[in-house]
Amino acid sequence: MYRKLYITGGIGPSAHNEGFTQPFDLPNETAYAENLCSHWTGIWNHRMLQLDCDRRYADVMERALYNGVISGVSLDGEKFFYENPLASLGNHHRQAWFDCACCPPNLARILASLGEYIYSQSDTDLAVHLYVQGTASTQLGGQCDHAPPGDALPVGRGSQHHLGYGLAYQLWIEAALTGLVSFSTPVSERRSHLSSSGWIHKQQAGCYLRIERVWKPGDSVHFEMDMPVERIYAHPDVRQDRGMVALQRGPLVFCLKQVDNSAPLQHIYLPEDADMTSQFDPDVLSGMVSINGPALAVDASDWRETLYSTALPV
C-alpha cells in the first residue's frame, strides 16, 4: 500500500506479468492497473476494516471504488476498461467486450454489492464508511422497544447534498437502540463537524467520530466535511512522477483532457501559487464538480528545428 499503489487505487504496473515490479515503480502511460484488481483492492481493505475499524483501510477502499473501479465503465454501462493507464496519447478507449472478459461482470457485481461497503456493524457499533444516499437495516445488541433480539431494525437512512465547500450528510435513526454510531473522517485530516440532535461532538483527526448514547426514533446525526482542492505529490522514489502534481477533491482524483485544452497537455504546468477552486454545475452529468484555476503552458514555437537546447523552456 505504501510502495505499489497508484493514486487511483490501481495496482499492478506491468502488463507483462499482470502484476508487480520493484517498489515505487508506477509508470503512467504503461500502467496496467487492471480494473478487476482495483475491485479486489476495495474488497481486501473492506475486509481489513472489519477486523480493525481503521480509517486507513477505508481511505484505500474509497480511493479504489471512486477512481479505480467506477472509471472502468462508461456512463451508459455498455463499454469498459480492462487496464487503466493514468496517461494516454488518445489511443486508449473503453471497449464493448473482451476476449477475456473478467472485468465487466465483476464491475456489475461490485456495483450490485455497493451497499456492503457503506456501513459496517458489530454487536454494539454502527460505522459509516462511505457517504452515499441510501437506507440501512441492522441490529445493535438487540435493544429496541418494538422488536425482539435477532430481528433486523431499520435504524437509519442517510442522505447527502453538495455544499459550496464540501459534503453534508444526514443520518436519521428510525428505531430505539443503544450503541455507538461512528463516522469516518479522512486520514488527511480535512476539517469536519459532527452534531447529533443538537449535540456537538469534537473532531478526532484521522479516525472515526464516535457517538455513544441511547437513540430514540427521530434522532438524527448531521455530519459536514470540508473538501478543498488538494495538491497530491508522489514519493520522491516514484521517478515517473517527479516534478508532477495531481489534483484531488474529497475522494476524487481529477484528470486533464486534451479536448478541454488548447495547449498540449505535456506543455501545461501549474504555478505553485495558483489558487485552485471547485465549482458545482448541476447541469453536467446530473451534478458535477469541476476544478478551476490558472495554469501556464510552455512556448515551444522556438523549438521547431531543435531537439535539445541549453536554455530552459519557459
Element (H, E) at 48: helix 35-51
- 201-223 average pLDDT score: 71
Crossing angle for the helix pair 55-63 and 35-51, nearest 10 degrees?
Answer: 160
**pLDDT, position 204:** 54
Which carries the bigger pLDDT value, residue 218 or residue 270?
270
Q: According to the 3-state scheme, what is the secondary structure of 87-104? A: CCCCCCCCECCCCCCCHH
Most confident range (mean pLDDT) of 58-67, 90-99, 103-112, 190-199 is: 58-67
Q: In angstroms, how far is the first alpha carbon of the chain from the final one?
A: 36
**Is 136 in a helix, a strand, or coil?**
strand
The type of residue at 196 is S
Q: Is the pLDDT of residue 140 over 80?
A: no
Element (H, E) at 256: none
Residues 6+ apart with CB under 8 A from 269: 295, 296, 297, 298
**pLDDT, position 151:** 37
Which carries the bigger pLDDT value, residue 192 or residue 198?
192
**pLDDT, position 205:** 45
Name which of 25-39, 174-188, 213-227 the model is least confident about: 174-188
**pLDDT, position 147:** 36
Q: Is the pLDDT of residue 143 over 50?
A: no
Q: Whole-structure pTM over 0.75, yes or no?
A: yes
**pLDDT tier for residue 232 given thresholds of 50, 70 and 90:** very high
Tell me the pLDDT tens digit for each residue of 271-310.
989 999 888 888 877 778 888 899 999 988 888 888 988 8
- 217-237 average pLDDT score: 86
**pLDDT, position 161:** 56
Q: What is the dihedral of CA 171, 172, 175, 180, to 10 degrees?
A: 30
**Is 111 in a helix, a strand, or coil?**
helix
> Phi/psi at 137 (nearest 5 deg)?
-120, 125
How far is residue 11's CA from residue 197's CA, in Å, rounded to a whole number? 42
Taken in order of first residue, the domains within the chain and their CATH numbers are 1-113 (no CATH), 118-226 (2.60.40), 229-303 (no CATH)
Tell me the pLDDT tens digit for each residue of 98-134.
787 777 777 778 888 888 888 888 777 788 888 887 7
Q: Is the pLDDT of residue 188 over 50?
A: yes
